[in-house]
Structure 1
Amino acid sequence: MSLLGQPAPDFTLPSSSGQSVTLSSFRGEKAVVLVFYPLDFSPVCSMQLPEYSGRQDDFTDAGAVVLGINRDSVHAHKAWAAEYGIEVPLLADMNLNVARQYGVAIDDRGISGRAVFLIDRQGVVRYEHVEATPGEYTVRPEQVLEQLRALRN
């Protein structure tokens, strides 16, 4: 199931920032990069999310906000973010409903797969990449930034 060219499924989830985040609240303002990842404190995720967080200024300059999403609780997100210096909001999709809407839930394992979705300012999915397995991390922040810059030209 591809969401490319489709309106992004809307959602509201609790965030590590202490507030709930609603996807559609960014419409007309910013592009959104959704980064689905399996688990806080796991080795690959502990590389991926700090990389995205470290490029946050670049994403901001490109007119986008980065949101991390997985099934861990807000409490786990806060602890992980503090330990790894992650500054992007981490959203708690504890029942995997949002992961299911985006076609990335791995229900038999109770996690989401690793995936990136780029949603333009109008709320349309313009880029998506779902890793073949949750342990893979092939799409780096720079590649997503390139996609984002291409949207603006």
Structure 2
Amino acid sequence: MQSIRVGDKAPELSQPDQNGNMVSLADARGCKAVVLFFYPADESPICTKEACAFRDAYQDFTEAGAMVIGISADSLDKHQSFASHHRLPFHLLSDADGGLRKAFGVPKSLGVLPGRVTYVIDRQGVVRHLFSAQLAADRHVQEALQTVRSLAGKAND
């Protein structure tokens, strides 16, 4: 499996979110950075902590000019329930067939668990940061926000 690295063009994605709205990286190109976080499963303890940390920082991300997208293999119905239960304001996409994980090269942890990887994609569609850690949910948010703010500063120069 080929892994996406910093400096690579992000693979395209276009699919419905938990509310039936189409989400496409191409739509963000030229106007917004994208924070794309892959996580193992809705409602698991660490995944819930991570999703809620993204929720709590959501306004900071939007003020810095970024959209946030979470991706797991869970169904859109399960995502809708998860988003409602935890008041998640961002898009959740289903990767039931593993195609998005494969396209981005998201590794499995311990050979079996879906990996936890966050990508920050700039307005041109280029990956500018990635962070992979199965257990450090808060660091995913901190590193992504720091990168988005850095990109926003460069865009305003």
> Could you state the TM-score of these two structures normalised by the residue count of structure 1?
0.90
Q: Which one is further off, 141-150 or 86-95?
A: 141-150
**Per-residue deviation, 1:147:** 1.2
2-structure distance, mates of 1:17, 1:123? 24
1-structure distance, mates of 2:99, 2:143? 27
1:65 aligns with: 67
* Count of residues in Structure 1 that have an aligned counterpart in Structure 2: 150
Which of 76, 87, 90 is matched with 1:88 structurally?
Answer: 90
Which structure 2 segments of 5+ residues have no match? none
Equivalent positions of 1:14-25 (< 5 A) are: 14-25=16-27
Equivalent positions of 1:1-153 (< 5 A) are: 1-106=3-108, 109=112, 112-131=114-133, 134-137=134-137, 139-151=139-151, 152-153=153-154
The alignment partner of 1:44 has SS state of helix
Per-residue CA shift, 1:45-69, capped at 9, x if unaligned?
Answer: 1110011012111101100000000
- 8 A contact 1:29–1:121 mirrored in 2: yes
- Identical counterparts, % of pairs: 35
> Could you state the TM-score of these two structures normalised by the residue count of structure 2?
0.88
Q: Which amino acid aligns with 1:25?
A: D
Q: Which amino acid aligns with 1:144?
A: A
CA 33–74 in structure 1, closer or farther in 2 if over 3 Å, else same: same
CA 11–141 in structure 1, closer or farther in 2 if over 3 Å, else same: same
